[in-house]
Amino acid sequence: MKQVISISLGSSEKDYQFETEFLGQDFIIKRFGTNGDMEKAAELLLKWDKVAEAIGIGNVNFPYGVGPRYLTKKHHHKLHELGTQVQTPVTTGSALRDVSFEWALRYIEYKFGNYFDNARVLFLSGMSNYRIAKVISEFTQNLSFADPVLENGIPKFVNSLKDLESYAHGAHEVLQWVPSKRLTTSVMPIKAWNDYILRKAMQKANIIVVPSYNFDRYLKDAALEELGGKTIITSTAYDERVVFCKERGVDVIIDTTPKILQRVVAPNVLEALIIAALGKNRDQIHPDDLLEIISEQKMDPRVVYPSGTPKRVNRFAFVIHPLSKEFLKKDKAVDMLSNFTPPAFLDAVEKVIAYAPPWVYSRVTGIKSPTGTEAEGWLITVGGTPKQMLAHSPEFTYTRLLQAARMAKRMGAQIMGLGAFTKVVGDAGVTVAKKADIPITTGNSYSACGALWAGAEAVRRMGLIEIKKGKRIQGKTMVLGATGAIGSVCCRLLAKAFYEVVMGGRNMAKLLALKESILKEDPEVKIKVTTRPDKFLKDMDVIVTATSGAGKKILDITKVKPGCVITDVARPLDLSPEDVAKRPDVLVIESGEIELPGNPEMKSIGLPHKVAYACLAETIVLALEGRFEVFTIGRDIEWEKVKEIYKLGLKHGMKLAAISGVNGVFTDEDIASVKQLALEARNEHAAAT
């Protein structure tokens, strides 16, 4: 039986000895901790020389991955010199560690899909984990390195790989001579300040890369606030480290060292085992040999979920805007001033605020899919009201949306949705999606889906139209804004269910083209097109308004049939509360709202708790699914995508929220009352004629 010995500068309390089989050979592996005693380590090295097949030296500070050549090799040379005095191959495991770092990260990115995209990653030692930083920089630019803080006691983080390289090649080297290093790590106020900013940086990060060597020292003061919900990348996550992380709420530990033996061992042990198994000297083993063994032995990185259940948190951003100048009164100062200033004051505020750069309105947390995946994000607001956006060129809004996209990316969002009027302006997201660095979606696919979902539910609950399973509904329906993105999909959906569909719009040629296209799919449906929809209003059982009128009067509600269900898909709404109040015998639903899974927390967006606009819900569904791609943009939405997002929504626990009107949620009593008034009005009308 071959012997592999690990001499560790770490604690002797963690010593072990066990037998194992590797590459068809039997091994006995023994660990000896020296509690930091170099003399003892040297003695052990000489003792096991020519006795063991290979010796690993553990718990040493690995050579830096970046920096001046002499510095990167400094520690390595000392050990190498020691190693040349003995005949048994000696290794620190640095070669395996380097190979396994890169392999582990690429494996995780491949297996979990977009795992590191735009994540905020804090490296406690960028110089030690330079290889990890190089790989991660392919997926995110949100990198932060604590080397100056932890190595030199300087309260400044390095914020890019390029700066880390400069620091490693120049500053770090010089700072080694500066006596203040010793001072700054011992002088209480500076040390306390460094500890404080390190904790703050940890709180801000999504992923923290912790070198195995200094794991306990760097994290000793970290608590739930710093580590809760985080992903930790390290090598050699011993059981006690997993317990430490569990107590501090860490979601995921990515251990770059594979666990191929019955217990977790350090890279030096694995590399010594490989050397012993191959019967070669350390210098004869090429990284390719290690990669081949990793691949053949299926030495995948270890993904540990300290809580016991798999966790994944994806991030999104969503752009909103004030719906009107009244909305600006939510700011107390504006509200107070508007009370005793002329109306022109609020107009001026509306104009000025349109020029403001985007800002974060609210953090969104607590969204949890039944699949276990979680989503968190930010609602970013631009300053322009719909009126202001229409008053400026589309480029005015594009500029602010691109600013919002840059902001979202820096905060770690992996996809950004365009809310309300921001997706109506110009080419409906095409330019923004082309120029932004993160995927963009308008949410229109789910908006269409949610509107019809709500409309169908409202018609069922009203019970004024007979619905027979497998047959077309013997009712008449109209879509206003039929040629628009959502309107055209509504027409297609209603044409599948209703006997007659009237399509209202401004462009007759577009209407006729849409009619032809729908008749090809559903030749049985009766379709009428009109640019003057008012004359059809009195006969319609269901009306969907999906225009981008931004406050213009779209339909005369007084002419609508009693008991009609109007689904207002437009944002801002096509029907004002005053209009709705004129017809208590008509059910006007705002449609499209979706109940989010889990226990979402965010500032009010004017909807009940847990409820979100469908366009926001689409962004969240895509985040939960990990589909970080441009999903819906432009004025035409694809039927296939509407179906897909509907199915994905159901998979992630999205539900139709209670049907809401301009005055809030409709109860069963509200709907019964509308129905009663409608029946009375119909009877009166019948009696009169």
Q: Point out which residues bind another protein (CB under 8 A).
A: 144, 149, 155-157, 159, 196-197, 200-201, 203-204, 322, 328, 330-331, 353, 356-361, 363, 381, 383, 403, 406-407, 410-411
Residue ranges of alpha helices (H) inside 412-527 are: 430-435, 444-462, 485-497, 508-521
Q: Are 443 and 148 in contact (CB under 8 A)?
A: no
Minimum CB separation from another protein for residue 327, in Å? 8
Minimum CB separation from another protein for residue 435, in Å? 14
Minimum CB separation from another protein for residue 631, in Å? 24
Query: What is the token pair recorded at 115?
Result: 């795992």
Dist. CA 23–CA 41, nearest whole Å: 29
Q: Are 124 and 150 in contact (CB under 8 A)?
A: yes
Q: Are 366 and 345 in contact (CB under 8 A)?
A: no
Minimum CB separation from another protein for residue 359, in Å? 5
Query: What is the token pair recorded at 312?
Result: 């994944």
Dist. CA 670–CA 661, nearest whole Å: 10
Q: What would you report as the CA-atom Rg of the chain, rounded to the nearest whole angstrom?
A: 32
Tell me the torsion sign for CA atoms 441, 444, 450, 454.
positive
Dist. CA 118–CA 138, nearest whole Å: 10
Instruction: Say how many residues make up the chain.
Output: 689
Q: Which letter does DSSP use for residue 10 in this model? A: S
Counting Cα atoms < 13 Å in the Cβ hemisphere of 546 gives 29
Task: Starting at the earlier edge strand, list the strands of the sheet with 25-33.
Answer: 17-22, 25-33, 2-8, 54-58, 90-91
316 contacts: CB under 8 Å, gap ≥ 6: 364, 375, 376, 377, 378, 413, 414, 415, 416, 417, 619, 620, 622, 623
The nearer residue to another protein, 149 or 462, going by C-beta atoms, is 149
**9: Cα separation from own chain's centroid:** 41
The nearer residue to another protein, 358 or 417, going by C-beta atoms, is 358
Query: What is the token pair recorded at 114?
Result: 């977009």
| Of 380, 379, 384, residue with least CA distance to 323 | 384
Minimum CB separation from another protein for residue 399, in Å? 9
Minimum CB separation from another protein for residue 387, in Å? 17
Minimum CB separation from another protein for residue 142, in Å? 8
Minimum CB separation from another protein for residue 401, in Å? 12
Minimum CB separation from another protein for residue 310, in Å? 28
Minimum CB separation from another protein for residue 378, in Å? 9
Dist. CA 642–CA 626, nearest whole Å: 18
Query: What is the token pair recorded at 211?
Result: 């070198």
Query: What is the token pair recorded at 227?
Result: 């580590």
